[in-house]
Amino acid sequence: MTDDTRAAELDAIVAELAPLAQRYAFVRAKRLPGIALTTYTRMPSWRSEDPPLAAARYLVWIFGVDDLSDDWSVPLPELRARYATLRAVARGAAAPPGDDLAALLAEVRAALAQLPLWPALADTWACSLDDLLAGMEAERDPAPRESLEAYLAYAHLSIGAMQDAWTLLIVLNDASALAQLPTISAALRAEARVIRLANDLNSADKELAEGKQNALTLLAPYGDARALAEAALAEAIRAFRAAIGQVRTSSGRFEQCIAATADATVAFYKRFTFHEFDHRAQ
């Protein structure tokens, strides 16, 4: 694959996603190149494996709900009411007029509902959304967590990795996965820890300035917070590789996609953020 080929593929994905930024006010167009990179890195054959880009559209939605949750000007009761709406939409309710987040969620759900594995995984997907929102709500609690593990107990949920992965599983349509759901769930929790720690290393300075907790603020009393977080990330990567190694679908594509997602995200966060990445500038 040449650099020109990759750039052209990323351009094509961005072009497919760009109308979302026109239809939905919460979508930040500057994030689309990073989402395109994630999509293409793990699924070079996206035109055949996920032609409507349902998984990429869902990543756009995850960023949007994260922005809502991070907006502390939104009172907690209002945030909980928005979450209740999103939980209902995830289970088939219509999106209320004027709620763009709910509308995009309904759009993604409708695309997934056309796929063969949806009946078997719809409840799992909706429950994972519940976990995502519960993790995001927990981030509103300013009380310091007593340990890194106590922090990761909710922070691995709020990063959105598991929701993304269950969406990929539905898209890839390998029915052999259905007999391995507990093993897959364990692997996805391990993946989420990797992505959370990589994210925290990337955003530590920003979150410190905002007075928010992350892995580094919790580790600071014990020494060099960055070095300790990097060690925790290295251990999380080892645990993830062991866990994903237990997943063996018939096609092998799901475990390949999840491993590629974790590896690519760790590498991405060492250099970029989703707010600033521009593939044409690299």
Domain residue spans of the chain: 3-281
HSE-up of residue 70 (Cα within 13 Å, Cβ side): 14
DSSP secondary structure letters along 27-77:
--GGGHHHHHHHHHHH-TTHHHH-TT-HHHHHHHHHHHHHHHHH-TTS-HH
* Amino acid symbol at 80: R
Question: Are 204 and 216 within 8 A, CB to CB?
Answer: yes
Tokens of 89: 């939409």
Structure tokens at 24: 């939905």
Minimal CA–CA distance to 272: which of 57, 65, 67, 36? 36
Angstrom distance (rounded) from CA 126 to CA 142: 27
Residues contacting residue 170 through CB under 8 Å, at least 6 positions apart: 112, 115, 117, 118, 121, 125
Asked if 112 and 167 touch (Cβ cutoff 8 Å), the reply is yes
- Single-letter amino acid, residue 110: A
What pLDDT was estimated at residue 4? 86
* 171, 50 contact by CB (below 8 A): yes
Residues of the chain with pLDDT under 50: none
C-alpha distances (whole Å) from 195 to each of 103, 156, 180 are 27, 8, 22
Q: Report yes or no on whether pTM surpasses 0.85.
A: yes
Q: Which fold has domain 3-281?
A: Farnesyl Diphosphate Synthase (1.10.600)
Tokens of 141: 């609690």
Cα 238 to Cα 242: distance, rounded to the nearest angstrom:
6
